[in-house]
Amino acid sequence: MNRQNAPKGIEWTRIKDPDGTVRPGYTWNPTGGCFHGCTWEMPDGSITECYAKTIAERFTRAYSHGFEHHYWRPHNLDAPLKVKEKAGIFVGSMADLFGHWVPEDHIWQVLHKMSEADWHIFQTLSKFPIRLPKFGQFPDNVWVGVSLPAGHLMSETGGARGLKAYLKHMKHIKATVRFMSIEPLWFDVAPVLEQWLETEGELPFEWAIIGAASNGSRVFQPKREWTAGLVEQLNAQKVPIFFKGNMAWEIWYEAFPKAA
């Protein structure tokens, strides 16, 4: 089953509160640019790249030095304070706030504004989890996410090895909600999680987002056994699952963590 008439934009920013209220979802980019250079090989042999890089290259005025550059936009720091209605705000849709190239002072300034705008829920997402524990306890309204390792045409073995390292770093993140973005689901993640559970007993995240691979309008569903194994693992651990709109599955998952 695919979700019909899925709204455009980043669905998981539209957080559903316990009382059923759905927050409007926004993106906020006080920083811009990224050095990860993520690329994937699709099942048909085509190569796709990070959507943010594709978008940035179309807007050369905003990214005059190219996408592989750090842009600091302090004039944009107060933007969340001007939004009075409770919202879900994805921080860094066109960046990795915690990338190794981002000055620590810039990160602290962004964290301070997130703490100040405490009626919003902010969601961060990084492919550099080694840095996240260094910032101590995150504000209660900041959900800290880590993306599934991917990029530079990595092999499935490399992806699994990277995920094991990511989980170790996630264990030390101090946040109300830690989440894993498994988008795209491009290799069999379930055995890695199973191995982790055998030694650690519980997963180091409280929410999981799952999505299919895509190249433009073409969508490539993950292998059926990959989705089945992953969903089974997460359900067994009572980790809420959120399916991106491009997923196809018999049961639809669109849950948020209890901290919402």
pLDDT in tens, 123-156: 999 999 999 999 999 999 999 999 998 765 678 8
Count how many domains the chain has: 1
Note down the domain range covering 33. 13-243
Q: Is residue 253 part of a domain?
A: no
CATH code, 65: 3.20.20
Dist CA 248 CA 214 (whole Å): 13
Sheet arrangement for strand 88-91? 25-28, 88-91, 121-126, 142-147, 177-182, 207-210, 241-243
- Is the CB of residue 67 less than 8 Å from the CB of residue 57? yes
DSSP 8-state code for residue 128: -
Dist CA 242 CA 90 (whole Å): 15
Q: Is residue 252 part of a domain?
A: no
Q: Is residue 257 part of a domain?
A: no
Question: How much is the pTM?
Answer: 0.93
Q: Is residue 4 part of a domain?
A: no
Q: Is residue 254 part of a domain?
A: no
Q: Is residue 260 part of a domain?
A: no
pLDDT in tens, 19-47: 999 999 999 999 999 988 777 777 778 88
Q: Is residue 6 part of a domain?
A: no
